[in-house]
């Protein structure tokens, strides 16, 4: 790995986390296409490398949210209860029976595009009241699915959980720290699962350690700064930002998913 690649990874992690942390997204969803298209990390090693980014980058934002008193409440525990078993299952699927990345990109685009557009419209024209919050069982079930997706593709579940929870009336000040806490714990378990699978399975499964550390170091700084900014941003602006990020990611995945030989 050249120093230019390392610097690119560090700056990408910093800038992405700075923007995504205030809305509870680790940034791994946007780092994934950067790793594939710019940093040229091979598959499936890109998944544990992304999980490693989450592990290194997460404590910066979480430390700030803890200092702000935003890590209290049951939401984080509910999300973790679903995402942890999900990520183990997803890692096993990724190594032994994963469909092509185009399938994920198209499915993710189909989920995120309407959610993102809905949040943007709601943020710009907040006329109707939010729907009732999700039940505990539904929240855990949804977290299980997003945990499996995180294990397969190395992305934080906040990119999917955030828009859904926001649309159901959960304040962004609760969503962001809870989603990032779940992403951190899930990524820690997922990275460990890939480490075990790498010892018993052939192929490029282990993460790219140096690149993951450099991207994570950038994310550590950007995440802390993003979490520090979050209390000063109005709820409407945060929802608009989350909707815009979800929509942009959906369009990106849709374009990549429709391209041949991805």
Burial of 213 (0-12, 13-18, 19+ CB in 10 A): buried
pLDDT tens-digit map of 101-117: 677 677 778 777 887 88
Within 13 Å and on the Cβ side, how many CA atoms surround 74?
Answer: 7
Tokens read off for 20: 């995504």
Crossing angle for the helix pair 172-200 and 209-229, nearest 10 degrees?
170
Most distant CA pair in the chain, distance: 55
pLDDT tens-digit map of 129-166: 556 778 889 999 999 988 888 787 777 677 778 888 88
CA–CA distance, 191 with 112 (Å, rounded to integer): 25
- b/e 131-159 (16+ beta carbons within 10 angstroms → b): eeebeeeebbebbbbbbbbbbbbbbbbbb
C-alpha of 22 from chain center = 13
pLDDT tens-digit map of 27-68: 887 887 788 778 888 777 788 888 899 999 999 999 999 988
Helices (H), 168-234: 172-200, 209-229
pLDDT tens-digit map of 179-228: 999 989 988 998 888 888 878 777 667 778 899 999 999 999 999 999 99
Tokens read off for 66: 């803890």
> What is the DSSP code string of 149-179?
HHHHH---THHHHHHHHHHTT--HHHHHHHH
Smallest Cα–Cα separation from 195: which of 81, 59, 45? 45
From the CB of residue 17, how many other CB atoms can be counted at a distance below 10 Å?
35
Three-class SS state of 182: helix
For 1, 11, 112, 142, 198, the CA distances from 160, given in Å and listed in that order, are: 32, 24, 7, 9, 28
Pair 216, 55: CB distance under 8 Å: yes
Residue 126 confidence class, pLDDT cut points 50, 70, 90:
low
- Torsion sign over Cα 214, 158, 234, 119: positive
pTM: 0.81
pLDDT given for residue 172 in this prediction: 85
For 73, 115, 162, 211, 223, the CA distances from 159, given in Å and listed in that order, are: 21, 10, 6, 22, 15
Collect all residues with Cβ–Cβ distance below 8 Å to 257 and sequence separation of at least 6.
102, 103, 104, 105, 106, 109
């Amino acid at each position: 790995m050249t120093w230019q690649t390392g610097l690119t990874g560090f700056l990408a992690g910093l800038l992405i986390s700075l923007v995504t942390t205030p809305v509870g997204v680790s940034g791994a969803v946007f780092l994934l296409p950067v790793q594939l298209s710019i940093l040229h990390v091979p598959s499936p090693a890109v998944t544990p490398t992304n999980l490693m980014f989450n592990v290194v980058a997460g404590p910066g934002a979480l430390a700030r949210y803890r200092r702000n008193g935003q890590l209290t409440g049951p939401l984080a525990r509910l999300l973790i209860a679903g995402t942890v078993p999900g990520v183990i299952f997803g890692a096993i699927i990724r190594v032994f029976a994963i469909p092509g990345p185009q399938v994920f990109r198209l499915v993710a685009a189909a989920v995120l595009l309407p959610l993102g557009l809905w949040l943007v419209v709601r943020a710009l024209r907040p006329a109707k009241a939010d729907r009732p919050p999700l039940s505990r069982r539904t929240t855990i079930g949804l977290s299980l699915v997003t945990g499996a997706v995180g294990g397969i593709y190395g992305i934080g579940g906040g990119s999917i959980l955030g828009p859904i929870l926001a649309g159901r009336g959960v304040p962004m000040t609760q969503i962001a720290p809870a989603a990032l806490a779940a992403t951190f714990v899930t990524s820690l378990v997922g990275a460990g699962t890939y480490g075990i699978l790498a010892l018993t399975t052939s192929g490029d499964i282990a993460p790219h350690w140096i690149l993951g550390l450099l991207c994570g170091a950038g994310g550590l700084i950007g995440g802390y700064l993003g979490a520090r900014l979050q209390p000063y941003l109005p709820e409407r602006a945060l929802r608009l930002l989350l909707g815009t990020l979800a929509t942009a990611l959906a369009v990106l995945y849709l374009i990549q998913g429709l391209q041949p030989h991805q």
